A and B are shown apart, each in its own frame.
Chain A
Amino acid sequence: MTSPKLLEVRNLRVEFPTRRGTLVAVDDVSLDIAAGEVLGVVGESGAGKSMTGAAIIGLLEPPGRIAAGEIRLEGRRIDNLPYNEMRKIRGRQIGAIFQDPLTSLNPLYKVGDQLIETILTHLPLTQAQARDRAVKLLEDVGIPSASERINHYPHQFSGGMRQRVVIALALAAEPKLIIADEPTTALDVSIQAQIITLLKRLCREHGTAVMLVTHDMGVIAETADRVAVMYAGRIAEIGPVQDVIKRPHHPYTIGLMGAIPTMTHKVERLTQIDGSMPRLNAIPKGCAFNPRCPKAFDRCYRDRPDPMPAGNSLAACWLVEEKAHV
């Protein structure tokens, strides 16, 4: 039967060959998602979080390609499937929600037709059954008077409502996993709260696992079970969300948590991580964080750390190993 691990990613490497050499956008990333689990993936722009998501769902833009590693869905390798095979998995097994709800819907088709098309592609239903299902999906995601709204075009919906339609579309074929890439970034805070609550409820009801890619640590704190912090294409730290937020091990995670202004305690100055993330063509030798790390020592400039156990988490930092020895 199903393995407890729904998705396994092992040593994933995504490369972009360019005229001036190969850029490595995702480097040696390994992660698991259990059935029904919400894994948050955070990082700053260019950290490779969206690339990881795109690689899993098979939507890397050429010339980007998976150069090494494996992706397994319920034990079956999906990273090397032919295009048509992957199409059947996409939507049926893995759904996707993107940042901008306006670009993920076709402006020329009614939202109902887009839903029905998706349902008919993946499920053995008649036109009428598919239509009923589409109405039910729209009701599920909280769109009022769904049976009328099904005949409307995307531009007739507001931003929040459009994102609800996109969620309905992602859930249409009851996938086991949803890749949600910045699903609330384009929305206002009060709408963001509605969408997060909705996504949490639906995934609980349907038992869907979610890979939630975002730069907003607050959204992760509220939604995710586990979180992976990415930096310069690699996982810096991965672990249960409470541990990573309250007891971070990697100096980058520690800096990141201090840099986020909160409303519970006022600080005079925010913790500042000097500098910025290296460009993909200039990733330093050793640990990629070493130029910005306050605690870097000689080994950090020489060898690259792999994620190693630190408390309940895994952290890719030589300090963790040092501490374990002392």
Chain B
Amino acid sequence: MSEQTVPMLRVTNLKRVFDVSPPWLNRVLEGKGKSIVRAVDGVSFEINKGETFSLVGESGCGKSTVARLIVGLYEPSEGEINFEGVNIGPAAERAKHPEIQGRMQMIFQDPYASLNPRWRVGDIVAEPLRFRGLLKDKKAIEKRVGELLTQVGLSPLDARKYPHEFSGGQRQRISIARALAGEPEFLVCDEPTSALDVSVQAQILNLMKDLQRKLNLTYLFISHNLAVVYHVSDKVGVMYLGRLVEWADTETLFNRPQHPYTRMLLDAIPDLDMTGRSRTPVAGEVPSPLNPPPGCSFHPRCPLANERCKREVPKTIPVPGGAVACHAVEEGRLPPWKAQAAA
């Protein structure tokens, strides 16, 4: 069955650079060269249908850029984005396949900025229907909007209101209703709950899980919150300075993390069960992406770094349950991960 073997989305060696140089005159006067940020630097992963794949990392690691590359808000500098075997990386290729574009939707982080304050909710939710010409009849659109709003836990009567009449959680529900209007199969969710309070976050995460089951959706989930990622994902990728340092299925990644950065992240999260626990946080900060360290970009903070790590970029090698890019793993000098203290 070829359908089974082709993943829904395959990203191969995806790269995106941004030119952040000062203006030409300044460069000439100050004798400075161009400066380039490699926001995404050779990322590869696959997402199967019906799965939730999460990307985690700290601010500036490039996870949101990956999301924007996939939905086509940026064009990749290099690499392929294969959606069911069709490369939609270059904008020209993407333009040839409007049906694929329609099957993807995005949910943004800030429910205050992503809804037009001067449009009624009904018009916001109906926009994909009108844009893609799914429904023409005014009555039919109204009915469909009502269904969509009901599906995300709002009332059809809310279509008459404006976004400012809703709380943050309700606005995020409106964003989800809008994303679902075009009947997508693949949703890219960029930090959908990080602007929300925990009790509302729980509502949205539950809603997203219910919708996934009901509509057989595939999610690419971007978050910095590891606990949320653990809750929603089937597979998790960890990004650091534009590179995917490790990916694995959720259980493997959280119970047997390999890459020292993943271990550091897991160790840094304050958890409810860690009352009074003392720990030694990893020193140092994420280096500037303008001037990343040579070799493995994590080496200045890594307790296992040696000469080779400072020189050579580690290749991604497969490990049981996933893959990891680390010389220490390859050379077998990785200490065992301490088992999580029994709760």
A interface list, Cβ under 8 A from B = 44-45, 158, 160-161, 188-194, 196-197, 215-219, 221-223, 241-242, 245, 255-274, 276-277
Contacts and interface: CB of A to CB of B under 8 A. Distances in A.
B286 to A, nearest CB: 7
Contacts of B281: 190, 193-194, 197
Given A188-B224, A256-B198, A264 B268 contact: no
Contacts of B200: 44, 276
A269 B230 CA distance: 12
Given A160-B285, A261-B205, A45 B197 contact: yes
Mostly, the B contact residues are helix
B270 A218 contact: yes
Contacts of B286: 188, 190
Given A245-B275, A264-B343, A272-B203, A216 B283 contact: no
B265 A273 contact: no
15 contacts: A160-B285, A188-B224, A190-B264, A193-B267, A217-B198, A218-B269, A218-B270, A219-B270, A259-B202, A260-B198, A261-B202, A263-B227, A269-B206, A269-B209, A272-B202
A262 B273 contact: yes
Contact of A260 (B58, B226, B265, B272): B272
A261 B270 contact: no
A277 B203 CA distance: 13
A170 B270 CA distance: 24
Given A188-B59, A256-B198, A269-B209, A217 B285 contact: no
A261 B231 contact: yes
B270 A221 contact: yes
Contacts of B202: 258-261, 270-273
Contacts of B230: 261-263, 266
A188 B270 contact: no
A222 B170 CA distance: 31
Contacts of A259: 198-199, 201-202
A10 B201 CA distance: 33
A242 B199 contact: no
